[in-house]
Amino acid sequence: MDKILLMLQLQNQLNDATNGEEWVKGITKNGKSINWKRCIYMECAEMVDSFAWKHWKAIDKEPDWANHQIEVVDVWHFIMSLAIENYTVMMKGGVEDLAINISELEAFSKIDRSNKTFSQPSEIIAKVENLIRLSISIEELELEKMISEFFELVFMSGLDLESLYRLYVGKNILNQFRQDNGYKDGSYIKVWNGEEDNTVMKRIWETNANIKPDTLYKELHKVYTALAKS
């Protein structure tokens, strides 16, 4: 449960910093409406593009597993945000209560063990489409079902709690870095020497298994500064 709680806390802090402390009411500090469900289904749609799903183009292309796993983590950002918002609005409790309830889900036990095995792309796409269906539904939010389906997707994507946590922390730091370097006003450079910043972050994280979040931020800053000078 500790890693779930820490991820929820980090997401809550990121949302406070990015959107203002009233984000749970569905609006940013700049008056922009927030729709976490839309964020989820749009990211899910991007996730499908990690696979050669088109029957008319690049039909033998191998899945981009590294990108797919990053997209899984992106969806997790939005599911956690939706869950925190739901618990606040419905007065179910704080992030600690949410973490306890998530860890008690039957699907949580599936990711709470080491896993590096990928399921068939068609099975993964079907699971992603289940998440899309849950996120576009106009019926009452089925939060526990959505989180359970997501954990199933995590397992099918060759991830487990440890790898999800590591990728999430890395992406969380990258998101903070983006916000600090012009992401909202459009001045941020997302492609670094031909590579997306996601890829650079993942490589730095994997090169040093014991790197601390603040050190990761500094490493990103070092690479980005060199890019700006070139």
Question: Cβ distance 173 to 217 under 8 Å?
Answer: yes
Mean pLDDT by 10 residues, the chain (230 residues): 90 92 93 96 95 91 92 96 97 96 95 92 97 95 97 97 91 88 89 88 82 87 83
> What is the model's pLDDT at position 230?
64
Q: Are 40 and 75 in contact (CB under 8 A)?
A: yes
Q: Say what the pLDDT of residue 16 is.
A: 94
pLDDT the model gives residue 7: 93
- Write the CATH number of the domain with boundaries 2-167: 1.10.4010.10
pLDDT of residue 227: 82
Lookup: tokens for 15: 């949302």
How is the chain split into domains, by residue range? 2-167
Q: What is the pLDDT of residue 202?
A: 84
